Amino acid sequence: MQDHHIVVVGGGFGGLQLVNDLKGAPVRITLIDRRNHHLFQPLLYQVATTLLATSEIAWPIRSFFRDRPEVTTLLAEVVGVDSDAHEVLLKDGQKIGYDTLVLATGATHAYFGHDEWEPVAPGLKTLEDATTIRRRVLLAFEQAELETDPAAREALLTFVIVGAGPTGVELAGIISELARTTLPKEFRNIDTRKAKIILVEAGPRVLAAFAEDLSDYARRELETLGVELRFGKPVTSCSAEGVTIGDSFVPCRTIVWAAGVEASPAAKWLGIPADRAGRAIVDKELRAPGKDDIFIIGDTASVLREDGSPVPGIAPAAKQQGDYVAKVIRAKLAGKPMPGPFRYRHQGSLATIGKSAAIIDFGWLKLKGWIAWWVWGLAHIYFLIGVRWRIAVAWSWLWIYISRQHSARLITQRETMREE
Amino acid sequence: MQDHHIVVVGGGFGGLQLVNDLKGAPVRITLIDRRNHHLFQPLLYQVATTLLATSEIAWPIRSFFRDRPEVTTLLAEVVGVDSDAHEVLLKDGQKIGYDTLVLATGATHAYFGHDEWEPVAPGLKTLEDATTIRRRVLLAFEQAELETDPAAREALLTFVIVGAGPTGVELAGIISELARTTLPKEFRNIDTRKAKIILVEAGPRVLAAFAEDLSDYARRELETLGVELRFGKPVTSCSAEGVTIGDSFVPCRTIVWAAGVEASPAAKWLGIPADRAGRAIVDKELRAPGKDDIFIIGDTASVLREDGSPVPGIAPAAKQQGDYVAKVIRAKLAGKPMPGPFRYRHQGSLATIGKSAAIIDFGWLKLKGWIAWWVWGLAHIYFLIGVRWRIAVAWSWLWIYISRQHSARLITQRETMREE
């Protein structure tokens, strides 16, 4: 009898890896997500910047498990955990019992106590975030074409990206290329090449997680692409009129937030300690302290490396944790010795700058330029799930490469009408 | 000097054909649409039924005219025409002067005086309509998987499509295939094959525009696909609980409206007579009566064939009208003799039933079955704009054909959260 019931909350990289790895184990699994799709987040910025279509990087979670009758997928929102009763609480009031619970609920963007900035400065975590940013960027050019007041037109053609981590750098590079390469011939009243793309970073350099020479290279490439960089001063306010950097005000209509991350409330559900970003502090086996039947993995868990530095919030880290927890569960059920504590193996850091340069830091090998871009592209096609999407994305990229035309320049959703 | 200014309102099939045909003419053109994209409406039902992605059938209008500096594209909503001042009025208060005006503003779905049905029974005219229908269909299965009450579950698994014209038939066929072929292995608590797909038609048969034997064939194919047909009684009410057909009530959570069409308000803007569906009655040269500088084409114009029957509201008709008006404008500007009155040439009627059958009525040739389906598919790939999308759509269809997996099963947009 497969009567050990595992409930997995979250169908991101960690949750999916875990369910995949438990294939053939003597368990029933219920996978719960509040979205019907797994999102390939590393390419989400390409949807926001019109390179890829939404369906190229998001796939229905339940379709992965069609041949696994022991896996039930539920589209539902978890709002709490009753660890005494061993139950997960759903928003509609239903309760789902578990023998083992794995929380892999991810993270969202954070505004450092300024949540009121969100409507004017959307972050990039969901498919809707990406289509919102895409819509705003495209609408800004459209409205500038209609605008007759020069100051208003300049504000419409100013795009501020807050935070120069990988997401900020990737967004700034492609938006600048969009303005300078793809759009100029399509507008008659404005010169889209004069658009200002400003990348704001409170720290001293871009891509601080990379070695300094790679970071320097990325900065030079961004400048070549026409991105204006502002270092050393934080954003102190965001509004519909513009953004204040330190104490200087920049009028702009489009702001994108790529500066902070906040964990989902898994720690709060369990009433256990969290770090500053809200990540639940777990033990060396990735369990909630004192609760042997609850594991927490991915961006919502605070895990340390052997050197005491935090495991980064990236897809490979979440996958390794899913992998590890599957091993622990299998060992426990089989009554075999447990694997040792979780150890993170950093495989490398990657970031792209525009459509032809990237930097890769494997530790033992550093790559930059077009060769890094090709390695990055091939790696990402490889990591996409399924032949169907590998071919579709490869074709989209090939077409963009040949034609310099972006594929997915749609303005959709209701906000369109309101903003018109 | 290219000082003759043509304003074209609407970037559908008619408007685009006209602007294409005026290439090289001594004119300036302003093309205004309230959307940034041209929509390939004949395949819109495939987005609604998860076969194609939004960006595969919608392309930014301004990208078509990047190499035509005399063409200005504006994303704006027209709210009226001042034909004395020769100006088009935009929603934001701006006015755009014209020498010649072409209104190609299309049509929307109509509820025969029951606009209150729209929220529960969306029609299919825009990209948002398609993603709304897609979301509701997919959410119904998701909610049924969670639902414990048998009656509520049955209502969730009942889908009513109102109107058995091409759109209704196409939607019903694919939704039935989705339930019977694609989804069954992915759900654990429900049997999606037991979903009821009901196609309601007030008239006596499906696809009334086709010859009776083809219509009969389509009915049999629909029944083979598991679609339940209800003829001869109109829908008398729609609500969140279900739909009343004649005087019998059918509990259901998903209703799609494919029954009626209403023209955009071009006739009202001009204060000229319209037919029952609101289409402006134009003269034999497709001009607004008494206004020599205003042409009306496509679904918003009421045009008669030589035998007195109306020209159908389909893409080829709109294209022929755009083509014709371009000829009239060229002749007028060159001082050459005008072409004779507009004559519609009906090239044929096509409709698909599910993913492997279609009917085609060329008049001189009737086709049905898989051969018609292939002719239909190749014709539509040919009519798509650009190599990029021809290959993408061909690949999507090929994949669906091989794998029987639908490509674009995304639940997106805010309503998701509310409905959860």
Q: By three-state DSSP, how is residue B334 classified?
A: helix
- Facing residue for B53 by CB, picked from A55, A62, A65: A55
Please judge whether B187 and A413 are an interchain contact, meaning their C-beta atoms are less than 8 angstroms apart. Answer: no
Q: Under a CB-based contact definition with an 8 Å cutoff, are residues A144 and A179 in contact?
A: no
The number of beta carbons lying within 10 Å of the beta carbon of residue B161 is: 28
Residues of B assigned a catalytic role: 170
Task: Please indicate whether the domains covering A4-110+261-334 and A115-259 agree at the CATH topology level.
Answer: yes
Q: Under a CB-based contact definition with an 8 Å cutoff, are residues A174 and A51 in contact?
A: yes
- Facing residue for B395 by CB, picked from A60, A391, A409: A391
pLDDT of residue B2: 61
For residue A170, indicate whether it is catalytic.
Answer: yes
Among candidate residues A260, A301, A297, the one with its CA nearest the CA of residue A279? A301
C-alpha angle A4-A6-A10 in degrees, rounded to nearest 5:
175
Contacts of A145 in chain B (CB under 8 A): 73-75
Please judge whether B392 and A391 are an interchain contact, meaning their C-beta atoms are less than 8 angstroms apart. Answer: no
Phi, psi of B223 (to 5 degrees): -65, -40
Where b means 16+ CB within 10 Å and e means fewer, A273-289 reads ebeebbbbbbbeebbbe
Query: Average model confidence (pLDDT) for chain A?
Result: 92
- Point out the residues of chain B with pLDDT beneath 50: 1, 415-420
What is the fold, at CATH topology level, of the domain defined by B4-110+261-334? FAD/NAD(P)-binding domain (3.50.50)
pLDDT of residue B407: 65
Q: How far apart are CA B256 and CA B133, in angstroms?
A: 7
Q: How far apart are CA A272 and CA A413, in angstroms?
A: 39
Q: How far apart are CA B327 and CA B337, in angstroms?
A: 11
Q: Under a CB-based contact definition with an 8 Å cutoff, are residues B96 and B5 in contact?
A: no
Please judge whether B411 and A62 are an interchain contact, meaning their C-beta atoms are less than 8 angstroms apart. Answer: no
- Facing residue for B75 by CB, picked from A36, A128, A142: A142
Among candidate residues A327, A315, A328, A321, the one with its CA nearest the CA of residue A343? A321
Q: How far apart are CA A306 and CA A317, in angstroms?
A: 14
Supply the angle between the helices A166-177 and A212-224 in degrees, to the nearest 10.
Answer: 20
Please judge whether A37 and B188 are an interchain contact, meaning their C-beta atoms are less than 8 angstroms apart. Answer: no
Q: State pLDDT tens for residues B280-324.
A: 999 999 999 999 999 999 999 999 998 888 999 999 999 999 999
Those of residues 5-44 in B touching chain A at CB distance below 8 A are 34-37
Q: Which residue out of B409, B418, B419 would a mutagenesis test of the A interface target, given it has the greatest number of A Cβ atoms within 10 Å?
A: B409
DSSP category for residue A175: H
Per-residue pLDDT at A63 exceeds 60: yes
Q: How far apart are CA A296 and CA B229, in angstroms?
A: 51
- Cross-sheet strand order for the sheet of B349-353: B349-353, B357-361, B366-369
> For chain A, what are the domain ranges?
4-110+261-334, 115-259
- Cβ neighbors of B104 (< 8 A, separation 6 or more) are B8, B9, B10, B12, B14, B15, B18, B296, B297, B298, B300, B318, B322
Per-residue pLDDT at A171 exceeds 90: yes
Q: Which two tokens stand for residue A94?
A: 């239903």
- Cβ neighbors of B25 (< 8 A, separation 6 or more) are B326, B329, B330, B333
pLDDT of residue A418: 33
Residue of chain B nearest A397, judged by CA positions: B388
| Torsional class of A246: left (φ above 0), alpha (ψ -120 to 50), beta (otherwise) | left
Q: How far apart are CA A266 and CA A124, in angstroms?
A: 21
Q: Does A209 touch chain B (CB under 8 A)?
A: no
Average pLDDT over residues A47-67: 91
The number of beta carbons lying within 10 Å of the beta carbon of residue B276 is: 8
Q: Does A362 touch chain B (CB under 8 A)?
A: no
Q: Does B404 touch chain A (CB under 8 A)?
A: no
pLDDT of residue A417: 33
pLDDT of residue B416: 36
pLDDT of residue B38: 93
Q: By three-state DSSP, how is residue B22 classified?
A: coil
Among candidate residues B120, B139, B192, the one with its CA nearest the CA of residue B420? B139
Those of residues 176-195 in B touching chain A at CB distance below 8 A are 185-189
Per-residue pLDDT at A195 exceeds 70: yes
Please judge whether B67 and A185 are an interchain contact, meaning their C-beta atoms are less than 8 angstroms apart. Answer: yes
- Cβ neighbors of A363 (< 8 A, separation 6 or more) are A346, A348
What's the CATH number for A115-259? Answer: 3.50.50.100
- Cβ neighbors of A152 (< 8 A, separation 6 or more) are none
Please judge whether A55 and B139 are an interchain contact, meaning their C-beta atoms are less than 8 angstroms apart. Answer: no
Per-residue pLDDT at A388 exceeds 80: no
pLDDT of residue A261: 87
Please judge whether A411 and B128 are an interchain contact, meaning their C-beta atoms are less than 8 angstroms apart. Answer: no
pLDDT of residue A381: 86
The length of chain A, given as a count of residues? 420
Residue of chain A nearest B405, judged by CA positions: A63
Q: Under a CB-based contact definition with an 8 Å cutoff, are residues B110 and B260 in contact?
A: yes
pTM: 0.92
Query: Where are any strands of DSSP class E within B134-277?
Result: 158-162, 196-201, 227-231, 235-238, 242-245, 248-251, 254-257, 261-263
Catalytic residue among A147, A154, A170, A221: A170
C-alpha angle A142-A145-A149 in degrees, rounded to nearest 5:
120
pLDDT of residue B161: 98
Q: Under a CB-based contact definition with an 8 Å cutoff, are residues A359 and A372 in contact?
A: yes
C-alpha angle B60-B62-B66 in degrees, rounded to nearest 5:
125
Q: Does A247 touch chain B (CB under 8 A)?
A: no
Q: State pLDDT tens for residues A21-50.
A: 999 999 999 999 999 999 999 999 999 999
Where b means 16+ CB within 10 Å and e means fewer, A362-372 reads eeeebbbeeeb
Please judge whether A63 and B405 are an interchain contact, meaning their C-beta atoms are less than 8 angstroms apart. Answer: yes
Q: By three-state DSSP, how is residue B177 classified?
A: helix
DSSP category for residue A304: B
Q: How far apart are CA A277 and CA A302, in angstroms?
A: 9
Enumerate the β-bridge partners of residue A229.
A199
Locus of tokens 């004559």: B343
Residue of chain A nearest B184, judged by CA positions: A66
